Amino acid sequence: MDSGGGEPDDEYEQYPCHWVELGLGAARIPVPKHWSVESRDLAEATFAVAEIAGATFSTELTCFEDPEAIRANALESYLNHPAAPPPSEELVNPVRDGDGKPDYGRLTVHYGCTEGGAPGELEVTAEIDIWRRVNVAPPDHVRVVEFRFRTPANTDPDFR
């Protein structure tokens, strides 16, 4: 397999990574080798984050055929998360390419969520950081990868 994106950068150099393919290679995600696989499917993968007990890192790829949105450069809706607060500042002020159009390939949206306990209870059982990235394979194909870093609510903030 072509490793494509090259080596992970300095920030993660301490943990050698391997590439995890989603959607038969439509997206390739670097994942530390020492994280064990909890589940794996054609377009999804979840790993146990070894550094924090009970923490997981999940990725899910969804693809769409939407030539009209690509032609109109109107892909914002693919970055919206149905269960999260309004989009972050990054989406409001997206990275621009040379023509001044939003450069969705470089845009990452970050949401912060919490996971509750049983229905009706206010207790927070986990904190979830969600990122979404969108990519286009012209002329028809849109890909969205959602990343979820889930940590138990009792996790020491210094370890997150």
Partner 1 sequence: MLLASMRTLVAETDWESEPTKFDRVAPADGLKLLPLRGGIYLRVPESWVRERENEDGTGRDVFNEPGRDRWTLWVDFIAYGVGDSEAVDIEQAAHDLFEAQKAGSDASEAAFDAMEDRPGEAMFALVSRSEEDGESLRRTFWLKMARTDVGVTVATFNWIVPVQYLEDEDMPALSALVEREIRNALVVAPAPAADDSPAPGG
Place of tokens 């990868």: 145
In three-state secondary structure terms, 156 is coil
Q: What φ, ψ does residue 82 adopt, rounded to 5°? A: -65, -25
- Residue closer to partner 1, measured from CB, 40 or 71: 40
Contacting positions for partner 1 (CB under 8 A):
1, 3-9, 11-12, 15-21, 23-31, 33, 37, 40-43, 49, 51-52, 55, 57, 61, 63-66, 105, 108, 110, 129, 131, 133, 135, 137, 140-143, 145, 147, 149, 158-160
DSSP string over 49-65: -TTSTT-EEEEEEEEEE
- Residue closer to partner 1, measured from CB, 108 or 125: 108
- The residues pairing with 130 across neighbouring beta strands, listed in sequence order, are 111, 148
Closest contact distance (angstroms) between CB of 93 and partner 1 is: 17
Closest contact distance (angstroms) between CB of 97 and partner 1 is: 16
Which token pair is 58? 């999940």
- Residue closer to partner 1, measured from CB, 97 or 117: 97
For β-strands 124-137 and 141-152, DSSP reports them as antiparallel
- Residue closer to partner 1, measured from CB, 25 or 117: 25
